[in-house]
Amino acid sequence: MNSITPSKHILKSLSSLDTTTLIPGKIHHHQSKRARICNIKAIYKQETRNFSAGLVSNRADWQTSCAILASNVVSQQSTEKTDAEIVSINGVHRTLDLVPVQQETNLPKPLSITDLSPAPMHGSQLRVAYQGVPGAYSEAAAGKAYPNCVAIPCDQFEVAFQAVGHWIADRAVLPVENSLGGSIHRNYDLLLRHNLHIVGEVQLPVHHCLLALPGVRKEDLNRVISHPQALSQCESTLTKLGLNVAREAVDDTAGAAEFIATHNLRDTAAIASSRAAELYGLQILADGIQDDSSNVTRFVMLAREPIIPRTDRPFKTSIVFAHDEGMSVLFKVLSAFEFRNISLTKIESRPYKNRPIRVVGDASTGGTAKHFEYMFYIDFEASMADLRAQNALAEVQEFTSFLRVLGSYPMDMTAWSPSIRDL
């Protein structure tokens, strides 16, 4: 993987900003931490060599631009360097021989979206946005979906959507459902709000580890932190391990590991991948702590343009629709697929945000019923190039007040191998 230069436009706009820090935690100058910090540096340097010579600085630069998209606080770069320091921009660690130290300064000045310029293309490498920091499962999913990509960490799902919409990334890879925790509703809602297309899916076995600082024992723990999905995927196992301690939700699993490392928290463990343990210099206290060894998360790949559907390999199509006439329409919609022998693989409902309630009846004659209104998301096993799918959707359109095809894309047909550890 080649190194890429950060967008001059973005760096220029960054340097003209009033600034403050994005840092969830930073490492201070304590001698006692020196060894661990050096260890993290060594590991990160190794990662950099193994994974991509330019990845670390690229990630951080893109991370910064993603933070701008979210109108978040931004960070100021100073030129001071200290051997024993690692800086963090919006959750991404960088060693000081790569970048300057961050300093906390004034109030953040919100940037408007119009301040952003599209990033330049970098050869044939795809830039893939994911939510989280290096070591997150979403980063692994991005690597599985696009093996030679430049992965761009984003602090929120919304930012990953916007990164693609604004040409900062070419694709986003985002989780939509997990076999233990269920649907990731936020991404269903964002799919509707943004105009991106689903162009693929990837299923990633998720193998969780309990991570803590070297030397920390289970008995020392007062708290376990992680992504809410990860906490819920490990709930029973944590109890079986005797860890009846506080659970706290953070933005992503690897971010939890990073937080412990940067704050030197000896009473806190993180649920994250073994790769996060390596990246942030933590030890694995317990391995494979997901409540089910077949724990798997399904991610979708998103792009600005749809792909051309084909029929020479298994395809899936995702749609979303709303209707005016209550649940009876749902039966008709499902029949349209059943009639054509098209299997559904997923159905999900979300509140219809602008019209949450349907009032039925007349208050003057016995009162009114108030029903919740929904958006329905359906995945079915057929390509939009398949006449059966086209006819089914033509029929569905007759019953629905709103219908959108979110994407028609190749199904993930890779062999199923649950609970691998080397994420």
Ligand X SMILES: O=C(O)C(=O)C[C@]1(C(=O)O)C=C[C@@H](O)C=C1
User: Which residue in this structure is represented by tokens 């006819």?
Assistant: 391
Q: Is 238 in the site for ligand X (CB under 6 A)?
A: no
Q: Does 138 bind ligand X (CB under 6 A)?
A: yes
Asked if residue 132 binds ligand X (CB under 6 A), the reply is yes
Separation CA 280–CA 212 (nearest Å):
10
Residue 63 or 383 having the CB closest to ligand X? 63
* 57 is a contact residue toward ligand X (CB under 6 A): no
Whose Cβ is closer to ligand X: residue 138's or residue 318's? 138
Question: Can residue 156 be called a binding residue for ligand X (CB under 6 A)?
Answer: no
Contact status: 407 vs ligand X (CB under 6 A): no
Contacting ligand X (CB under 6 A), which of 59, 127, 227, 298? 227
Catalytic residue list contains 48 = no
Tell me which of 6, 143, 153, 175 binds ligand X, using CB under 6 A: 175
Other CB atoms closer than 10 Å to residue 270's CB: what's the count? 31
Name which position in 22, 136, 238, 396 contacts ligand X (CB under 6 A). 136
Give whichever of 108 and 132 is closer to ligand X, judged by the CB atom. Answer: 132
What's the min distance (Å) between Cβ of 227 and ligand X?
Answer: 4
Choosing from 20, 64, 297, 400, the catalytic residue is 297
Distance CA 309, CA 138 (A): 25
Judged by CB under 6 A, which of 172, 216, 254, 320 binds ligand X? 254
Element (H, E) at 330: helix 328-339
Is 157 annotated as catalytic? no
Query: Does 133 help bind ligand X (rule: CB under 6 A)?
Result: no
- Contacting ligand X (CB under 6 A), which of 73, 184, 212, 277? 184
Q: Which stretch binds ligand X (CB under 6 A): 1-9, 135-143, 146-154, 210-218?
A: 135-143
- Interface with ligand X, residue 206, by CB under 6 A: yes
For ligand X, the binding residue among 297, 318, 400, 408 (CB under 6 A) is 297
Report the alpha-carbon distance of residue 167 to residue 170 in Å, rounded: 6
The DSSP string of 76-88 is EE-----TT-EEE
DSSP per position, 364-385:
GGTEEEEEE-EEEEEEESS-TT
Cα–Cα distance, 22 to 16 (Å, whole number)? 17
Interatomic CA distance for residues 99 and 87, integer angstroms: 8
Among 48, 178, 237, 383, binds ligand X (CB under 6 A): 178
Structure-token pair, residue 22: 């994005």
For residue 170, the 8-state DSSP code is S
**Which of 61, 85, 158, 252 touches ligand X (CB under 6 A)?**
252
Q: Is 176 in the site for ligand X (CB under 6 A)?
A: no
What distance in Å separates the CA atoms of residue 162 and residue 154, rounded to the nearest whole number?
10
CB of 254 to ligand X, least distance (A): 6
What are the residues whose beta carbons fall under 8 Å from the beta carbon of 152, sequence distance 6 or more? 58, 59, 62, 63, 66, 127, 128, 129, 130, 163, 168, 169
Q: What is the helix (H) or strand (E) element at residue 164, kind and residue range?
A: helix 157-165
Binding site for ligand X (CB under 6 A): 132, 136-138, 175, 178, 184, 206, 227, 229-230, 252-254, 297
| Residues designated catalytic | 297, 299
